[in-house]
Amino acid sequence: MQHNHFFTPTVLCWALSLVFCSSTHAKEIDACVDESAHNSFSKIKPAQNSGLSIPDNGAIRLTADSIDGVAATQANAIGDVIVEKDEQTLNAKSIHYDETKNSVSSPDDFVLSKENTNISGNNLNYNLQTEEGEATNIHFEYSKSAEQRYQGYADSVQMIGKNYNRLHNAVLNTCQPNDDSWYIKAEQIDTDKEKNIGVARNAKLVFKGVPILYSPWLDFPLDGNRKSGLLSPTVGGGSDGFEIAIPYYLNLAPNYDATYTPHYYSRRGIANAGEFRYLSNKSRGRMWGELLAHDDLLKQKRYAFHWQNVTRISPSIEMGIDYNVASDNDYYRDLGNRLDSAENVNLNRQIWFSHSKRLLGGTWNNYLNIQRYQTLQNREHSLTEPYRLLPQISSQWTKNINNARISILGQISRFEHDTLPEGMREVLYPSIRWNFSNQWGFFRPKLGIHATSYQLDDYYPQKQHHTTRILPIMSMDSGLIFERNSNIFGKSLTQTLEPRLFYTYIPTREQNHLPNFDSSENTFNYDQLFRENRFSGNDRINAANQVSTALMSRFYENNTGIERFRAGLGQRFYLKRDDVILNGNVEKREKNRSDFVAFVGGHVNDKWYLQGDWHYDVKQERSESYATSVRYKPASNKALSVRFGYDRSSKWYSGYSGELKHIDIGIQWPVYRGLEVVARQNYSLTHKRPLDQLLGFQYNAKCGCWNAKLVAQRYVTDHDKTKNAFFLQLQFKGLGGLGSSADDELKRAIPGYHFN
């Protein structure tokens, strides 16, 4: 539960444009020191000690060229004065020491060092015992680590105890020495090292010599720890206009917190969003949502709410909740980004209980699930809502005996739907699997019986229809591993050659009299060759008397064991051509072999990465799908990728399913001293139109104290609709940032994307 905190701003909508125009105030774009600032954050040379051991029992050592005064009362020291007490060291040209008060004073320049803190200035009055005092024209720096550092200067300082300082007419930032590319300037700044809090009054944020934000009061963490206060404002927009959100964070307790976020949409109005997170010995979770009381475009109320929770009821029992709701079908398309609209189609509403214990030398796992969905329809209203589980109870017992693993799965489910057949389903699936393996190969036979029973409500042609299906399932998985040493591109590698055979036998059974509650056909790929059933769920089980043949080769580095590259190809051969399709009917296959699949993938060397997949339809004698990508990444901030793909039944957006051939190019590349360009062009050759376009610039200051991003995006949301979005962000080290992050979009759009 950690946040980067910012301050209370009076936001000017145009202020963020200074990210890119303010560079004219510096001589060059990667300059860390802004010469227009009236002072610099130069490093303070720590006070020099005498070279002797630290005085015992809090005693004070005074060293100077000359010392005079009254013994046990006061002293005057002149010339290279050094005062030492515990971990405090003071250097000055001259001081007056009052032993009765344990205080020192000096009209001259001084340097005071104590516990990761250095302060320089003049006109010092300081109590060595209480660590209270004052000084003028001061510079200061606190540096516990590279990530816990601040520095600055002020007209005067009041040192109020060991950890608390009050600065007047002060300037402060959290950068490295000699870096004043940005800073907070305020009439007063209080720093509390014990609480790790800084508080500034009548403050403004200055970036490249230009004030960009003002606040009468602000607070911020000195070392990044979470605390109550306003977080980074986010700014964005696109097709729906300009938007800005200013979250306020509430650090309610060490184990729970909350965030309230007013969110302004220029075309829709003001929304209120919130999040609550909690963590205890027994529970963890979060609630979040947003309410737009009146959408100015649609003239209606819009909202979304989410709750995720996991509670440990006992050492062996857990309970979970996942609840999601949205006001309308278009909520995420209108108010979310591309990822939101893709991930929120069937909104889950679920409560579950899990139980686990040891039983008869094995592991016994039980699961109770109650689940339903809210389906957000596409504009064609062609989506079918999944079945409701009211409830589903699963139990599985497993035990290892020598080379064998025994498993017994039992499941009872109640399926309900408004428009489809409803009923109960009972599943019992005992199985045993042996594993005989060594360094050069393996043999893994398996035997099981899959028994399914249905009690269906009002099922045509009769009511209360009861039916069963019992199928034995047998499989044998075997493979060999051959190795040889290789030397490729100057690297010592081990190459493997791994032939594999996977045999499956399942008798043919007509299943068109059974409903389909939760089964779908899995995508045919290389991994699917080694699965007994090509259907997910329990309602459909394919017929099988077949052998999958495959050959794979892998390359490992000898000195690290890291896999660098792999390639494989495979095909299934049918000894019997019976085929159960998704509707439950039995058909005869036209060919005695399956489609052909192949893949390659891995690092050709440290800079080049290659990946490819191919699915060839032997029945139609044509490619069903293929994809290939090449990525060049010579450095952490350099990435170039080209992806080309074809799919005969692609689902590019909700409601679309059809042929798609496209080329996808992504790039992240430095262009000038910390300035990088990021871009993506995903173009449909089938439709002769761009599917996703992205162009932006990002800048990381040489000193590492700030960075900025400006990204624009345009993507397809429907067959005749697109959406625009832009992201603008200015990030300050240790302080947070302004704008909206495009990181998730950039990582998805540009393989290998990285930004410090």
pLDDT at 71 over 80: no
Position 608 confidence tier, pLDDT thresholds 50, 70, 90: very high
pLDDT recorded at residue 194: 78
C-beta separation of 684 from 646 below 8 A: no
Q: Which residue's entry shows tokens 């969905």? A: 373
* Main-chain phi, psi angles of 20, to 5 degrees: -110, -25
C-beta separation of 92 from 110 below 8 A: yes
Nearest to 5 by CA among 256, 229, 267, 332: 229
For residue 681, what are the contacts with CB-CB under 8 A and spacing of at least 6?
A: 663, 664, 665, 690, 693
For residue 214, what are the contacts with CB-CB under 8 A and spacing of at least 6?
A: 9, 10, 203, 204, 205
Nearest to 235 by CA among 13, 23, 10: 13
CA angle 304, 305, 311 (to 5 degrees): 160
Position 734 confidence tier, pLDDT thresholds 50, 70, 90: low
Give how far Cα 299 sits from Cα of 4, 104, 336, 721, Å: 36, 71, 18, 22
Give how far Cα 225 sits from Cα of 164, 249, 600, 661, 692, Å: 17, 12, 45, 49, 38
pLDDT at 525 over 50: yes
Position 249 confidence tier, pLDDT thresholds 50, 70, 90: confident
Of the listed ranges 60-74, 146-160, 591-605, 737-751, the one predicted with least confidence: 737-751
Q: State how far the Cα of 723 lies from the Cα of 712, in Å rounded to an integer.
A: 11
Q: What is the mean pLDDT of the chain?
A: 87
Q: Which of 92-101, 407-416, 707-716 has the highest mean pLDDT?
A: 407-416
Of the listed ranges 168-172, 213-217, 253-257, 707-711, the one predicted with least confidence: 213-217
Structure confidence by residue, pLDDT tens digits, 277-333 = 999 999 999 999 999 999 999 999 999 999 999 999 999 999 999 999 999 998 988
Q: State how far the Cα of 192 lies from the Cα of 112, in Å rounded to an integer.
A: 18
CB atoms within 10 A of CB 708: 25
pLDDT at 341 over 90: no
pLDDT recorded at residue 736: 63
pLDDT at 265 over 60: yes
Question: Hey, what's the torsion of the CAs at 168, 33, 195, 122, to 10 degrees?
Answer: -40
pLDDT recorded at residue 308: 97
